[in-house]
Structure 1
Amino acid sequence: MRRLDGAEEAELMATAHALADAAREATLMHFRRRGLTADTKETARFDPVTVADRLSEERMRAILAARRPQDGILGEEYGRTTGQSGLTWVLDPIDGTRGYLSGTPTWGVLISVADAQGPLFGLIDQPYIRERFEGGFGRAEVNGPMGRAELQARPPRPLSEAIVMTTFPEVGSPVEGAAFRRVADKARLVRYGNDCYAYALIAAGQIDLVIEAGLQAYDVQAPIAVIEAAGGVVTDWEGRPCHDGGRVLAAANAAIHAEALALLRG
């Protein structure tokens, strides 16, 4: 992992918050506005993108061009820009565009800065309720309507007492869905459709597990940074690093991670 001094860590954190502030403004310009439409990125299923997705990423990229031109960028809407510093900003301008279109406040903006080994610092920001979760460089905090508080994932409890979340009931392929149900069938409560906000709830100590498949790097790098800073564990379904996406198992602690991992492996 790249070594950074305190001044550079502070600059990276300040830049991340500046990006999140810009994305808040851009996304709220269109949220719950009549007439908002979406294009779809795929023909086989509805994978929406709106003018707000594009505007949010454009504004974040403009800030990075001014403040951190030496860094790379990986964004959902405009792809990869190569840098020279060894650091890459990973941006999801609206994670949960389906929720955004529906008017629910469970979408978010995901921002992280990573080196070759994975994310160093990340933000999960929910603009509408003004709640921002951050993790990395020795920080694990949430700041929102109830003030500022330390993030701490919940301690171990059996899967039979746990709360599990995922975005889509089918999870992924039929095989992946069956693996998810092996975990879900043993949990006390299963909830669907919270997109990135579910990962924030792990860091906040509210839930125990998030299980998903088919993710991209920009879907998961910020949540990894925030959850790990709060004491949680995030891997793929084989227990390996997952900062490039794929099948993701996020857990509040090592004990429930191990219990869920054994069931996912079947």
Structure 2
Amino acid sequence: MILRSTAFPDLSMCVALAHELAEISAGIIRPLFRSPALNVDDKADLTPVTAADRDSEAAMRERIREVFPDHGVIGEEFPAENPDAEFVWVLDPVDGTGALVSGLPTFGTLIGLCHRGTPVLGLINQPISDERWIGLTGEQTLFNGERAKVRAVRSLDQATIFTTALDCFASDSDRSAFERLAGKTRLRRFGCDCYAYGLLALGWCDLVCETGLKVHDFTALVPVITGAGGRMTGWDNRPLDLSSDGRVLASTGEPLHREALEILTGTKGATPS
């Protein structure tokens, strides 16, 4: 199957480029997985970074400049380029560097595209297992070329919830809010970073709840989740964009999303924005 967008007909070239960027990054990351050549440094915030992060983002940026010199780029490892452009690519070369340096194949490369600040295209690539999700906002999500779809879990007591780690929550109140929500679910799981969102799009879990995410962490995920029939918003129930605060909830859709937000925020009767 080939993804096309009726809202943005010219995105066919962007879809092709997203796939090309995934191949470029995979070619750099794959040889370093579980390799003694993978040297790990610490950023200023003490989170790990490797040559896989830096080199793959640099290579993707170079290719974007060649194909779309007027597009902007926001990435994790280097300063933003032309971030006020109409179209801005948002890159996370290794979402889950902690997993990469621990030898776990649950990290992923995130490639997103925003149109006037709103995510319109998203790709998750897992280069070790050769798994790829790509979605367009308002259209559909494909997983390795086949349609991806969330499952029809509609109540919290039947739901599986993911988050990367409890210590990732930005404040004690946010952590308590997650604990309230997770306590209502059937099963909670930790880890997986962006891979958890891919599992949601495939129907293997029902909620992903996190805080403290940067735009490169969530931009690519929005079209993947919504294209699979799910919902992804901020905790304030607003659509995610480049100005969002990094508190996100992804779900299989209503009414599960609404019920989860009510527990997170302590507000009853929330309606979709």
TM-score after normalising by structure 2:
0.90
Measured in 1, the distance between the counterparts of 2:235 and 2:154 equals 20
- The partner residue of 1:16 within 15, 18, 39 is 18
The yes-or-no answer on 1:150 pairing with 2:147 is yes
Q: Whole-Å Cα distance in 1 between the matches of residues 164 and 102 of structure 2?
A: 14
Contact 1:121–1:136 (CA under 8 A) maintained in structure 2: yes
Matched residue, 1:208 = 206
SS of 1:74 mapped into structure 2: strand
Q: Which region of structure 1 is more displaced relative to structure 2, 18-27 or 132-141?
A: 132-141
The whole-number CA distance in structure 1 between the counterparts of 2:158 and 2:47 is: 34
- For the residue of structure 2 that corresponds to 1:60, the secondary structure is helix
Following superposition, the deviation at residue 171 of structure 1 comes to 4.0
Structure 2: gaps (5+ residues) = 1-5, 267-273
TM-score normalised according to structure 1 size: 0.92
Identical pairs, percent: 40
Provide runs of 4+ in structure 1 moved above 4 Å: none
- Within 5 A, what are the aligned runs for 1:1-266? 6=9, 8-43=10-45, 46-82=46-82, 86-136=86-136, 138-143=139-144, 148-172=145-169, 173-244=171-242, 245=244, 246-266=246-266
Letter in 1 for 2:49: V
1:161–1:188 CA contact under 8 A, matched in 2: yes
Displacement of 1:196 after TM fit?
0.2
Q: 8 Å contact 1:110–1:124 — kept in the other structure? A: yes
Q: Which runs of 5+ in 1 are unaligned?
A: none
Question: Any idea what SS the aligned residue of 2:80 has?
Answer: strand
State the alpha-carbon separation in 2 of the partners of residues 70 and 232 from structure 1. 32
1: CA distance, partners of 2:236 / 2:142: 29
Q: Is the 8 A contact 1:165 1:209 kept in 2?
A: yes
Greater shift after overlay, 150-159 or 47-56?
150-159
State the secondary structure of the residue aligned to 2:247. strand
RMSD: 1.8
Higher percent of residues as strand: 1
Post-superposition shift, 1:5?
5.1
